[in-house]
Structure formats: C-alpha cells, structure tokens
Chain A
C-alpha cells in the first residue's frame, strides 16, 4: 500500500511544470531567417532542441530533470510502500535489579533462545525499574540486540509493576510478555499466574556491604559499615578503609558492623572488601565527608538560658552575640522586627499588634496541634500550663499550629516572605520548658531551618533515593552530572531542586557547587540464596503474533537518483550546446 508521510511535500510536484517551462524557455533559440532551410541538417542528423508548442525531439535533459523533480517530491512527501505481515512478538521484561549481575549472561542467553525458536520473531526488551526503559525495540528484529550486550543491572530491589504496565501496553497490539528474572517466586507473587517467567538465577553465597554511613563527629567524621555473609559457609574478609585494613570473620547468615573515625581532610573514603566474590558491586562503597550545617541563631530574649539548654541537643547550632557581624539564620525575639533583614523568627509572646485583649487565664488544654506541620511533629503538650496567652484579632493573618479552644497558642504569622513563628505565651509564668515538647519543638524548628539552608542536606545516598538540593538563589541554574559524565534530570520544586535519576553508584557532581555519593547498598539484592533457575513458568507456547507494518522508504536511492538525474540532465544540456 502506498503511503505518504508528508502530503504537503507533494507540492514539490509543481516543480515539474516549472522545469518544463524553463526547458522551453531555455531551448527557444534566437530566430534567424534563412533562404534555404532544406540545406541545413535535419533533426535526425543533429540532436535537436525543443520547439514552442511543437513536438520535442528526444528531450533527454528535460526528461531527466522532470524525473529528478519527481524524485525530490517523492522524497519530501515521504512516499513509501507499506506492507503488513504477522510475526511472533516477544516482549521481555528484564529484571534490572543488581542481583541479576550474577546471572546476566544466562539472562541474555535466555532472550537469544527465545528469538531462536522462530527466526522471524520480533523482540522488545524492557528493563524493569521505577522508570522502565526499552533497550531493544519496540518490535525490533532479533538481530538488533546490541544494547542487550551492554546491559548491566544496577537497580536496588524494586517492583515489576511499571515495567509490566508498559509491556502490557505494547502487547495490546500483539505479543507475549516474558519476565526474565532471578527471583521467580517474587515475580510470580507480584505478577500472578499467567505471566511467562523465565528464571535465570542460581543460588549462591555472597558477602557484601549492606550499609555504609559517614557522619560528623568531634574529630572529623565517623564511618560505619555493616558487612553480611549471605552464604551457607563461614567467610573471612579483609576490609580496607584507605590504608587501614581490618580482618573479619563472618558466620553463615551473620553480619558484622565496623566503625572508623576519620580525621578532617579526607573528603572521599572508599570502603572495600579485598576478596572478590559473586557480586562485585556490593564489595565497595564510596563515602563523602559530610559538612556541618550549623544554624546561626541570634536570641534577644533576656531569659535565653532555657532556650539554649533546649537547643544543646540540637546540633549544630551557632549562637551569635550582638557584636557578631554575621547575619543569623534564625532570630528568637520578643517582638517581630528586633532582628533586621529577611530572617526566620521565633517570637516568644503575642505581638502587640495582634492582641485582641488582656492576657488570658492560664490554659490547661486540651491542646490541638496541626500534626501535619513539620514544626509540630511528635509534639505533645499535655500537662503544660500555658500562661500569658492573648486572644488575637479576628483579622490577624496567622496560621494556627497549636490551639486551645479558639486561642492560637502557636502560629505562623504571615507577615512577609520569610516565616515568623509566634509562641503566644509568657514563658516566665509557664512550665512549658519542663515539658518534653520543649526541646522537640526546637529540634523541629532547627531542622526546618537547617533544611532550608542552601546546599545539600546529606552527601551520601543509597541508589534511587531522591536527592534534594537548595541553590543559594532560587533562580540559579543547577546542573548535575552523573558518575559517567551524563547530565542527570533535575526537577525544580519549591525553592529547591530534586534529582530523581540517581540509580548509578558513584560520585555525582553538582556543577560549581557540591557533590554527593551514591552507593548501591541493598541486602535484598546482595542475598543470592533465594535466586533460582527453574523450569519456565507459564508454559512455552508460541508467541502471539504481531501485525507489523513494514514501511519501505527510499530516501537514499531517491536522493541519489535525483542527484544523478540532475547531473546527467546538465551533462546532456552541456553536450548539446557544445
């Protein structure tokens, strides 16, 4: 069936009458009256030229140029010939989890075997994962499996759901879905009966790092790792941390936790198991040095001791004196505006401009918090005598976070662009500082403020975790390069940027700003004891047929033909004139 991809391209056919017109115009020579025309050679003896409104004698160049115009019009219009036939179509959902690294060759061999059952089989390979990826096809010829050869499973444990959704959509047009995994039981439990599963795993022992952290401590940082033996035999391993080494013995099914203190000046440390085993990826971890993110606080209250005491457990906090030139991140004040600039503020006591009357009698509760607000997380004010609270004006621009009756005791005052939290209390006459909620409140407040500081919150992540980064200015462009140098997709959120595609282990660079490390630490994937190679589940009936439209395009030879005809046409004209 003849198809036309770009019908407007057929407008190029108008070039044909133009070419013909130009040909006539070009071929109309200057008239010359002669007495004896019969003496001049006749048309048969000399390649002739065209005549106006008369038969053209062997118009070779015109013929070639018209053909060239026709070829170009065909090219522009995307004219092609489409045929359709039914061929077997196999859609492979390939388990992309890291444990498949131990069975990748068997997985590729299984897929090749699926294609060899019928040489005309069309193949689609979808890598499983939160964001499934089609690496072969859709409906590619069985020979087009180059991407499969480069396949390297890297994901932590994940569900087949998104990949199966994509596979099902592709299978609607025809095709059988085959799941290739090393965890047939897990796949069968998730996908249910009726799905063809090819198990390619093999139960093996493995020793791997299942956890690695690096946290700040007084000397610099502290590296903690946990190493597990997922085998049935005792194992011994040499663990290296830079130049330091440690020998450990691991009983079957046990794990060992190790910790080292690393002084400052070691931005990157690499923890590795010296002996290689089934899986290589869980034998090493890269950890970047965390950076202190101290919240600078300026407190103008006369009685700041209770607050400082509460904040001791909330590290790190940096208290600024009145003479310190640095701008604080948070001001704890008795009246809004006591701290200049756009600074987060915690106001202790109801602001005068919001008060609607004299202080209320001490309140005993019940206290109703806005549990969804991060500032109120896990706060319990039961037993607190809340004194010195004022009713607020009806039109006060506040968002209550904690109320007693209709009195907002803790609220956000929406006065400017930066948050101002107000505790409607007289602390001298209240026992709130003796409540467990008191340090927790400051913990929540400092954590919120710390999270709002520019930069990264952490520097070491597990693969697949969403990494959040807050640029110094919201308008700043943020570019993230992955371990292989490729740019990583970033999603702007409210004031910060989220990096979603952090599946690949290694060090990620936030250009001109910071960097973080991602490690593939997943005990489920390191544990190969449950992987199996069993008989095909779901039968091995022939693959369903896919009606395939084969579209034949003639770009190359059409273009060549057009050029050739133009050249030949010009040669014909030149030869004719000369």
Chain B
C-alpha cells in the first residue's frame, strides 16, 4: 500500500479540529470540561457540602442569602482524541485514503494538544500512540470481523471523555443505535466518517455480476440493472440516514467521504462542512 502521508501532513497547518460542541471530560488540561472544576471560568452555584474547597465559597452570596453558597467553575481538562480506523478487508481498496485521513486527523489532534490514539481495528484492536504517521501506512487491512463485533469483544480500552473519530465504510449489517452505543459510550464526542468508493456510492449498471463479499466471501449472482442499482442506493441511503440520525441525536457528527477524492478536496468539502475541522483563518475570523 502506497500512502502519501506527507501530503496529509502538509495540510495540517491549514486546518484545526473543531473540537466537541459540548464540553469534554478528561484529564486536567487546556480544555474546559463539562464537569465543574477549578478553572477561572464560572460555571454554576450550589449549596456547600462538606468537602468542598472553602476557597470556592462565594462570600458575597453568603452575605446576601445567609447560606453557604459555593461558586462552581469549569474544570480544565486535557483533551483526548481517539481515532478508530476500521482495518477490515472492505476498506482495503480505500486504505490509502483512510490512512491519510487518520494521519491528518491525528496530526490535527496533536496540534491541538490532545492526547492522540489511533486504534486500528481488524480482527483485533491495536493502539498506536507513537510514530503514528510512520506506522499507519504499514497497517494491513485484512480484518474479516465487522466493526461492531470487534467493539463488543472489548479489546478497546477507550478513554472516558475522549473525542472519538471512527473511520470506516460502515458497510456491514448493523443497528446504528447499538453501534453508536458501542463507539460513543463514555465519549466526549463522536464523529463517524464513512469512507466509500465511488462505485459503492453510486454503482454502475453492469449486467450480470457475481458479487463476492470481501469479508464473508458470500456470493450472489445478479444482473445489475437499473432497478437493482436503485434498490442498492435506496438501502445505502437508509443505512446512511440511520447513522446520521443517531449522530444528530447524540450531538455527534456523521460525514460521508468519497475515497476517490483527494484529501485536500475532502478537507475543503465534507470535513469542513461537516464541522469536524475548520480552516485556521476561519477560526480567527
């Protein structure tokens, strides 16, 4: 597999991650957490309970209300970004773009100061935290177990509060709600990037074909005519709509990517419009 990682890294200065809409949880760091913490940014009031830091008692409020009121502040946490890269056989022909995306997003995450982990998930899950750009191109896309099954095995030890970016084609039978539960449980945010080849997004009318599932080796002979293509696209649309709905409901992000487009085009297009990244200049504005 030939992956131009350099091209991906060259785009890093021009973009940055748009991190989670809701405050993330995590280790103390540079990002405000959902929970109250000790940063200077006001978050809320509550009554004092024993154990609270007396430094946080709002004496002015005590004076006004004659009760011990504690001033709560958002905690400052260190952001963790975990990229889950589906390394199953179905992504083999799209592996170059998938690896590019993973490298690019990992680089953006590190640039944002996040603790970055790339999980390559074939039949087992492998965490890459160091030398990600060097090691990712060597990943073999040979997994035969669908992503949900891998997640259910529990091989992944995802961090609580991490931002999780899943790169997959999601072309396996699944319940989107359950999948979101597996990926997004305890996550600070979830982004699902569906990477499809052009002929997966819009198959051509090609007549008789013996379709072979690259993961299950199951075969089906079909005469691919317009009606069959229509039915296929209808089913794909329902799949994408399911994922998109679940992501919207959980304030996540679902973005469709075409593997046949360049990474730069993907950045300018769906990744930016999907709200996963933003140009550096635009943020300044």
**Residues of A near any B CB (own CB < 8 A):** 27-43, 45-51, 576-578
B51 in the interface (beta carbon within 8 A): no
Contacts of A38 in B (CB 8 A): 172-173
Contacts of B211 in A (CB 8 A): 31-32, 34, 37, 40
Cross-chain contact A40 with B223 (CB below 8 angstroms): no
Chosen A-B contacts, 24 in total, with CB atoms closer than 8 Å, are A29-B207, A30-B208, A30-B209, A30-B210, A31-B211, A31-B212, A34-B212, A35-B169, A35-B197, A35-B214, A36-B169, A36-B172, A37-B211, A37-B213, A37-B220, A39-B171, A39-B232, A40-B211, A41-B222, A41-B231, A41-B232, A48-B220, A49-B210, A577-B207
How distant is the Cα of A319 from the Cα of B213 in the complex, in angstroms? 113
What total of A-B pairs shows CB separation below 8 Å?
Answer: 93
How distant is the Cα of A29 from the Cα of B219 in the complex, in angstroms? 11
Contacts of B173 in A (CB 8 A): 38
How distant is the Cα of A33 from the Cα of B210 in the complex, in angstroms? 8
Chain A's closest residue to B239 (CB) is A39
Cross-chain contact B223 with A577 (CB below 8 angstroms): yes
Interface size class of B (residues with CB under 8 A): 20 to 34
How far apart are B276's CB and chain A's nearest CB, in angstroms?
Answer: 23
Contact of B223 among A43, A45, A49 (CB under 8 A): A49
A sample of 8 more A-B contacts (CB under 8 A), given A32-B210, A48-B221, is A30-B210, A31-B210, A33-B212, A36-B200, A37-B216, A41-B231, A46-B222, A46-B227
How far apart are B85's CB and chain A's nearest CB, in angstroms?
Answer: 15
Given contacts A30-B208, A35-B200, A577-B208, contact A51 B221 (CB under 8 A): yes
**Residues of B near any A CB (own CB < 8 A):** 90-91, 169, 171-173, 197, 200, 206-216, 218-223, 225, 227-228, 231-232, 235-236, 239
How distant is the Cα of A27 from the Cα of B197 in the complex, in angstroms? 28
- Tell which of B90, B208, B214, B227 has the most Cβ of chain A within 10 Å: B208
Cross-chain contact A48 with B222 (CB below 8 angstroms): yes
Contacts of B212 in A (CB 8 A): 31-34, 37
Chain A's closest residue to B196 (CB) is A35
Contacts of A576 in B (CB 8 A): 223
How distant is the Cα of A29 from the Cα of B210 in the complex, in angstroms? 5
Contacts of B216 in A (CB 8 A): 37
How distant is the Cα of A338 from the Cα of B221 in the complex, in angstroms? 102
How distant is the Cα of A45 from the Cα of B228 in the complex, in angstroms? 9
Contacts of B207 in A (CB 8 A): 29, 577
How distant is the Cα of A47 from the Cα of B206 in the complex, in angstroms? 16
How far apart are B222's CB and chain A's nearest CB, in angstroms?
Answer: 6
How distant is the Cα of A65 from the Cα of B225 in the complex, in angstroms? 25
Cross-chain contact A41 with B228 (CB below 8 angstroms): yes
How distant is the Cα of A43 from the Cα of B212 in the complex, in angstroms? 14
How distant is the Cα of A50 from the Cα of B220 in the complex, in angstroms? 9
Contacts of B231 in A (CB 8 A): 40-41, 45
Contacts of B218 in A (CB 8 A): 37
Given contacts A29-B221, A30-B209, A35-B200, contact A40 B232 (CB under 8 A): yes
Chain A's closest residue to B91 (CB) is A35
Contacts of A29 in B (CB 8 A): 207-210, 221-222
How far apart are B217's CB and chain A's nearest CB, in angstroms?
Answer: 10
Cross-chain contact A50 with B221 (CB below 8 angstroms): yes
Given contacts A40-B222, A48-B222, A51-B221, contact A32 B228 (CB under 8 A): no
Contacts of A42 in B (CB 8 A): 220
How far apart are A501's CB and chain B's nearest CB, in angstroms?
Answer: 69
Cross-chain contact B214 with A34 (CB below 8 angstroms): yes
Contacts of A30 in B (CB 8 A): 208-210
